[in-house]
Structure 1
Amino acid sequence: MSKPANSVLHTPLSRENATSLYEQIATRLLEEMEAGLYEPTGRLPSESGIGERFGVSRVTVRLALDKLVSEGAVVRKQGKGSYVAGRQVRHGLDTLRSFHESLKLQGLKATMRLLEKKVVTLPDDVRQRFAPAAKGLFVQRLHLVDGEPVALGDSYLPHKLHTFSWNEVERQPAYSLLADRMGEAPARADIAILAQRADQRLADTLKISEGDALLVMRRTSYFTSGACADHTHFYVRPERYEFVMSSTFRAS
């Protein structure tokens, strides 16, 4: 279980220790990483924050981080900071499950925050998928892990789901709502992974900077009848998130 940020021990460094200051800092950060202090995002404090904490210069902090990078314990993301290596949230694409369920199955403290729920006239490109229906339910939900935003989902769902309450839509994944109201869960989905830069809306919602890179998962799900079950765009912070799948080689 990860420790809260305020559990950092502000024990001063030993100035008489034969071990250099930067090595002491590197050791302290490594111990905290191994204890899960920086999960789930894996992001370490800024160089200035680390320097202020230990009372050292940024040059000393950089030496400590360089040591952790060389040991494979830390990776640097240009313009984003330093992160614990190898602690990524993974979303398998070879099994059909909801975004929220994928987070929960990894043992993460995943929650959803409903930002919008309304009946809308479907945009032309979406209406073609739900034809002959002209109206549908638009739902916007923020996905969080340990209270930190990891993704924003914009979903178009069958109009029949509009009778669900705000609390029900906030608590239940889309596939669960579909199964409850439509009597069946989606049987297949077409998924595409794209990349784009965050506009101001996405930046504000996901607590990142405008222009930061995002992963975008575009998913259209279908019932066994071929009718469209949902059309969703997930805008995902990529620092600690990756999409994975397994495949089998077949000789031609």
Structure 2
Amino acid sequence: MDQRSSASSTVRCRSGSVQSRHPEHRLTEALDRDQATPLYVQVAALLRREILAHHYGDGGALPSEAHLQRRFGISRVTTRQALQLLADDGLVQKRQGKGTYVSSDHVRHALGKARGFYDELVCQGVTPQTELLFWGPSSEAHEEGLGTRLERLYRLDGAPIALVQAWLPDEALLLGRESAEQMTIYGLVEEGLKRRIVSAESSIGAKVPDLTSAGHLGLEGNGGFVLTLSRRSHDALGALCERALFLVRPERYEFVLRSEGRAPGTNMRIRHA
């Protein structure tokens, strides 16, 4: 597309925002430059909606940064912030020298946010099916009043992808099995028990699941490993209000942690004894 045709593909609205007439941008909306929400967050939300509507296909390329700058009337910095927000949520992947592409059906779980497992899937446009396998008092020794046990199976497209075993406060048992079936783990804590989660510690590992867990995950006889995510969540007072262990099949799942900058004192040379 030459510069003239590119310029004719946009129209400036009375508010000063830009809308596209290009047929691939049927969901384009004007940016609200008067609201408190940063422009890059608004742009990311619009692109997210288009990605989830499959406008770019599975693994397809997003428009170039220059195209997005013209489309929304924003700076290069704002464009890159919007794309990075999508990348942080696992919706897109940046390829050096090639551009930004929609992530494939491989789920990329961002570890930098205290977000629930279910929400992490939904954030990427995936709606898992869930089955509550157990809800009741814990039969094993528990810590700091976490006497309610939950076990839930997650499926994608009918196939098992993850099994979670979670321990919640004693009083969570009073919420009942129906609530446990309808609410996420964090929902039970925050909405059900009115305890706001402000931080979470997570650790990643791998293990061979026991026979019962392997059966739930469809791994009978495979003898394979599963990814593990161990999580401990705390409320505003610093009290432990949830502990969970996720067993995840690795074929369609990976954990991602994004770091900013180098740590102080990084060595440039190897020290030989």
Over 3 Å counting, the alpha-carbon distance change for 1:118 and 1:93 in structure 2 is same
Matches within 5 A, 1:129-140: 130=144, 133=145, 136-140=147-151
TM-score (normalizing by structure 1): 0.60
Q: 8 Å contact 1:120–1:138 — kept in the other structure?
A: yes
TM-score (normalizing by structure 2): 0.56
Q: 8 Å contact 1:108–1:146 — kept in the other structure?
A: no
> How big is the shift at 1:147?
2.1
Q: Does 2:128 match 1:116? A: no
Query: Tell me, which stretches of 5 or more residues in structure 1 are unaligned?
Result: 1-33, 37-84
Over 3 Å counting, the alpha-carbon distance change for 1:225 and 1:115 in structure 2 is same
> How big is the shift at 1:164?
1.8
For residue 216 of structure 1, the aligned residue among 214, 217, 228 is 228
For residue 169 of structure 1, the aligned residue among 152, 167, 180 is 180
Structure 2 CA distance, aligned partners of 1:244 and 1:251? 19
> How big is the shift at 1:184?
2.8
Structure 2 CA distance, aligned partners of 1:241 and 1:158? 29
- Structure 1 stretches of at least 4 aligned residues deviating more than 3 Å after TM superposition: none
User: What is the SS of the residue equivalent to 2:125?
Assistant: coil
Structure 2 CA distance, aligned partners of 1:251 and 1:151? 34
Higher relative contact order (CA 8 A, sep 6+): 1
CA deviation map 1:6-59 (0-9, x unaligned): xxxxxxxxxxxxxxxxxxxxxxxxxxxx987xxxxxxxxxxxxxxxxxxxxxxx
Structure 2 CA distance, aligned partners of 1:251 and 1:104? 33
> How big is the shift at 1:235?
0.3
> How big is the shift at 1:119?
1.2
> How big is the shift at 1:234?
0.2
User: Partner of 1:3 in structure 2?
Assistant: none
Q: Does 2:99 match 1:93? A: no
User: Partner of 1:186 in structure 2?
Assistant: 197
Structure 2 CA distance, aligned partners of 1:105 and 1:237? 19
> How big is the shift at 1:162?
0.6
User: Partner of 1:143 in structure 2?
Assistant: 154
User: Partner of 2:26 in structure 1?
Assistant: none
> How big is the shift at 1:185?
2.4
User: What is the SS of the residue equivalent to 1:188?
Assistant: strand
> How big is the shift at 1:188?
0.5
Q: 8 Å contact 1:221–1:229 — kept in the other structure?
A: yes
Over 3 Å counting, the alpha-carbon distance change for 1:100 and 1:215 in structure 2 is same
Query: Tell me, which stretches of 5 or more residues in structure 2 are unaligned?
Result: 1-55, 59-102, 265-273
Structure 2 CA distance, aligned partners of 1:159 and 1:195? 29
Structure 1 CA distance, aligned partners of 2:140 and 2:169? 10
Percent identity of equivalent pairs: 30
User: Partner of 1:203 in structure 2?
Assistant: 214
Structure 2 CA distance, aligned partners of 1:198 and 1:175? 25
Q: 8 Å contact 1:100–1:111 — kept in the other structure?
A: no
